[in-house]
Amino acid sequence: MAMGFSAVAVAAIVTGEAIAAGSQVAQEELQRERANALYTALTHQIRCPASRNMSIAESVEPLAADRRREIRDLIEAGLDEADIRRYVATRYGEAALYAPRLRIATAALWLAPAFITGIAIRVWTRSIRRSVNRVCGGEFPRNHVTQ
């Protein structure tokens, strides 16, 4: 009976270790998948310095390969997406990112076209009003259909 109990105990320990090892492998696989997804996302968000309008994921240039290797090293070092984006922006400038952080300078770049369009519309409408005032004596022509 003592022999049967020790065999069961050994089997339970071995089974427990196998489950723990399987869990460890599953966690490592999950971490590897997350790292690959992060790598793919980041390499598509960073511009290649040598190829115009291409990400480092798409480019075959040696500089792009260096940046891909650098991103892989940062991921393996345990940095998250925000840290890596901040690192790239600090080291290579905001222009290295396809989606730069919102700052006053970048907000001005995005809002300038709308502001200039608004000014152009205002100047155009004032010009039309002045022309109408000169031609029509100060009143906009109305529909002159008799009823």
For residues 42 and 111, give the distance between their C-alpha atoms in angstroms, rounded to a whole number: 27
Task: Give this prediction's pTM.
Answer: 0.56
For residues 77 and 31, give the distance between their C-alpha atoms in angstroms, rounded to a whole number: 13
**pLDDT-derived band at 2, boundaries 50, 70, 90:** very low
pLDDT (tens digit per residue) in 5-32: 566 555 555 565 555 556 777 788 888 8
